[in-house]
Amino acid sequence: MFKNLLSRAKQAEHTFMVTMAVAVGCLGGAGAVLFRKLISMMQGFTWGHGPYSVSQVSAHPSWYIVLIPALGGLIVGPMVYYLAREAKGHGVPEVMEAVALRSGAMRPRLVVVKTLASAISIGSGGSVGREGPIVQIGSALGSTLGQWLQLSGTRLRTLVGCGAAAGIAATFNAPLAGALFSVEIILGDFAVTQFSPIVISSVVATVIARHYLGDFPGLVVPEYSLTSAWELAIYALLGIVSALVGLAFVKVLYKTEDWADQLPMPVWSVAALGGAVVGVIGIGYPQVFGVGYEAIEQALRGETAITLLGLLLVLKIIATSITIGSGGSGGVFAPSLFIGAMTGGALGATFQGWLPSIVQSPGAYALVGMGAVVAAATNAPITAILIIFELTSDYKLIVPLMAACIISTLVATRLSGDSIYTLKLRRRGINIRKGQDINVLRALSVRDVMSPTFATVQAEVSVGQLVERVADQPTARIYVIDDDGTFVGTIALPELRNTIRKSSASDTLATERLTSGDLAREDSRTLQPNQSLDAVMRIFGGKSREELPVTENGKLVGVVSRRHLLDAYNEEILKRDMVSEISSSVSAASSTEEVILGKHHRMAEIDAPGIFIGRSIRDLDVRARYGAQILVVRRPQGSGIDQTLDVVPEPSTVVERGDRLVLVADEPALKKLRAL
């Protein structure tokens, strides 16, 4: 009964996705509220009841300030290591990886582990934020709901985006920023079909959060205004400085992670050492503990001395890097806001001393610096601008805020191609740009898409004969080869027409003496059959040509056009979505269960037979030998047994130990394959 109702509901695509978006928004909003309540409870348990504050921490003896973060790390380290290792760190890269490589599939247990681990890390004094964890928690809730309803492909990815948007919106009380964060960072896709459900989830989560937490800005700031047009030049400089600070933060973070990985001690115990080190910093500067909004608000009000601003900037980078690098669980978004506030506040205070008639509010620079450092670290300027705007509900500084964020992003992307999120994935060997797997085209080569049909002419053919041959050719280019097929060059038909037009009757004899080889232009760029299509896409991006020749050992073997690339990309995306749908339909099946396809054929997921290991799909030739067709190769990823990467099998794909094969065959063939 339930399956029938669900099947009918799925057919009404728009209504179904809107309903799912509302459900994920409710789950994400409730998750954010619960997470914040849990953090407050942990802070009350560790530092004393009442609103958490810096003075509350300072009231404890030094040994206690060191002990609590160390104990927090001692609890979080084993919890993450043994239960869900993807809960380590800030969480957003793991969501991006799940969206790009696993169609949004995430483990349900991640919701519980991430919630507890991050709440303990933040509550015990870890120098991390709550935004990254709630993105991962909301995304995992959306993924869990989608998998429970047996969704996959685009719909499952959309629900993951809905969860991320709901988390950000509920945490910051910022529905628009939540939606933009999801599409700009998590999905990297502004398609209307995905954007609408994400906006709905973001709004629903915000309503829930406002009901339980109140409707007020996340940060209370004084009123700022642009005193002079000359300030825009200082804000532009702040954008450049913020980019350098943001990149320094990213570099120190991952250098610290490398250092922690090399320590001669059990991996699960390193977080305790990191907590102790952060505790030592907190003895003198407890502002670095936790989210740090109290110190941010002081900087926004201009109440912090310039020397302390600079010192807190450096210490926050160190403390956050140690907390996350050693194995703690928490986000980098709030630390980026903290670092940005200190950067902007220090620069504003400096210029106030130099130009007091122009710079009158150092706090305004702290506010803009928050957005600029976030933009530089995440490479997401739109999200940074909207979050600062919705955090403060202040529109007056929108112009300098936009200028600084765009400048910082441009400088950061110029100096480094990765954000704080994508760099973590690149270090694992996963290349993702804005949440999209660039291996969509990297998996294909020129040989897969090149056309073997092209117009050629021998180099010794005269121009007169050439004109007769190309009169009926639909192509705009003729490729010139010599007697043994070696590629000589290209003749563009417009150039050939110009040559003939310029020739007068008296020049007819000279024209007849010209050969195709004389007119051929040597191509400055030719392609090789084994080149990957992502490299070819970059080549076409820098050229006005619509078509390029493909040569092998000097001989012309084919041509590739822009249309070939677009068709290949669309086909690969369609194939991956279909594969996701197919693999989802058997993901819950055991090795003895099958999906019936017609009278005779079955679809099933089986362990790769031992004789298949180490051999390519081409060598196995299962269609000819067993009457079966391999649709998907499900490859284990990470430490979780249910973390898999669905590989679209190519002829060159090699079956590895631990792979499971999703295939279609008749009953006798399946029995034969299972018996191997």
Tens-place pLDDT, residues 455-490: 777 766 766 666 666 655 556 677 777 777 788 777
Residue 408 has pLDDT above 90, yes or no: yes
Percentage of residues in the chain with pLDDT exceeding 70?
76
Boundaries of CATH 1.10.3080.10 in the chain?
Answer: 2-213, 231-435
| Residue 590 pLDDT class (50, 70, 90 cuts) | very low
Residue 511 has pLDDT above 70, yes or no: no
| Residue 593 pLDDT class (50, 70, 90 cuts) | low
pLDDT of residue 439: 53
Average predicted confidence (pLDDT) for the chain:
77
Boundaries of CATH 3.10.580.10 in the chain?
Answer: 446-565
User: Nearest-CA neighbor of 174 among 18, 391, 5, 399?
Assistant: 391
Determine the average pLDDT of the residues in 103-115: 78
pLDDT of residue 543: 56
Tens-place pLDDT, residues 190-212: 554 567 888 888 899 888 988 88
The rounded distance, in Å, linking the Cα atoms of 90 and 40 is 19
Residue 385 has pLDDT above 90, yes or no: no
587-674: in CATH 3.30.70.1450 = yes
Tens-place pLDDT, residues 21-80: 898 889 888 888 888 888 888 888 888 877 777 888 888 888 888 898 889 888 888 888
Architecture of domain 231-435: Orthogonal Bundle (1.10)
Cα dihedral sign, 604-608-612-616: positive
Determine the average pLDDT of the residues in 562-586: 63
Cβ proximity of 238 and 368 under 8 Å? yes
pLDDT of residue 592: 44
Residue 591 has pLDDT above 60, yes or no: no
Residue 641 has pLDDT above 50, yes or no: no
The helix (run of H) or strand (run of E) holding residue 439 is helix 439-442
Of 119-128, 403-412, 536-545, least confident by mean pLDDT is: 536-545
For domain 2-213, give the CATH number: 1.10.3080.10
Of 3-12, 471-480, 548-557, least confident by mean pLDDT is: 3-12
Q: Residue 499 contacts by C-beta under 8 Å, 6 or more apart in sequence?
A: 463, 511, 514, 519
- Tell the CATH topology of 446-565: CBS-domain (3.10.580)
Angle between helices 131-148 and 92-101 (to 10 degrees): 30
pLDDT of residue 181: 82
Residue 401 has pLDDT above 90, yes or no: no
User: Nearest-CA neighbor of 140 among 173, 164, 165?
Assistant: 164
The rounded distance, in Å, linking the Cα atoms of 287 and 33 is 24
pTM: 0.67
Boundaries of CATH 3.30.70.1450 in the chain?
Answer: 587-674
